[in-house]
Chains A and B, each alone.
Chain A
């Protein structure tokens, strides 16, 4: 059964304290791995798509990497405005749907 597991469930950082979020997945034929950011009361906001092992994407303080079994979202020198829930999702070979993890709730204190 296709599955996505994110860890940790919650992460508290001090401003400037770099860290990584993990997304482990099992899927029958990965078509894409997606990272989203969700703020309270809003829908998920698309961040990155990764398609093959070894691929990396960067955006401001965020960097996403992909291996055959997991993805990492590295946050470098985070700021309070980076506080949000970060969601990982995979698309399988059945097409048309994403399987989401439960998310990591990130809190960055000044």
Chain B
């Protein structure tokens, strides 16, 4: 069974640009969550989607947004990039809701903002 797939693996962007990251969940998983990982803050929750609806959102500015498609694939978008947005962005899928079902993570997209 294929795992969670994230594309691209690496991105380099300039301040002020926008970026879109893509995630394909494990087949049969309807919940997709996004996390930001940095050395200083660790893993921080961005948002969770289930059946194309955002069910929960973390404490990130409105520049961070996401969506989920009918096939459960998800994208997240960051507009007006800042240097502090440099991080590893991780997507995870689960069968049930993220808080009480195990999350299965992809290997992330490493975003560098210059």
A residues engaging B (CB < 8 A)?
A: 31-32, 34, 36, 41-46, 49, 51, 87, 89, 91-103
Contact = CB atoms under 8 A, between A and B. Distances in A.
Interface in B80-105: 90, 92, 97-105
Which of B43, B58, B92, B105: most chain A CB closer than 10 A? B43
What bracket does the count of chain B residues touching chain A fall in? 20 to 34
Interface of B: 4, 33, 35, 42-45, 48, 55-56, 58, 90, 92, 97-108
11 contacts: A42-B108, A43-B106, A44-B103, A51-B100, A95-B56, A95-B97, A96-B56, A97-B33, A97-B98, A97-B99, A103-B42
Contacts of B42: 100-103
A33 B16 CA distance: 38
Given A49-B102, A87-B43, A95 B55 contact: yes
Contacts of A49: 102
B107 A43 contact: yes
B4 A98 contact: no
Contacts of A96: 33, 48, 55-56, 97-99
Which of B44, B90, B102, B104: most chain A CB closer than 10 A? B102
A36 B42 CA distance: 13
Nearest to A43: B105
Contacts of A97: 33, 45, 48, 56, 58, 98-99
A29 to B, nearest CB: 10
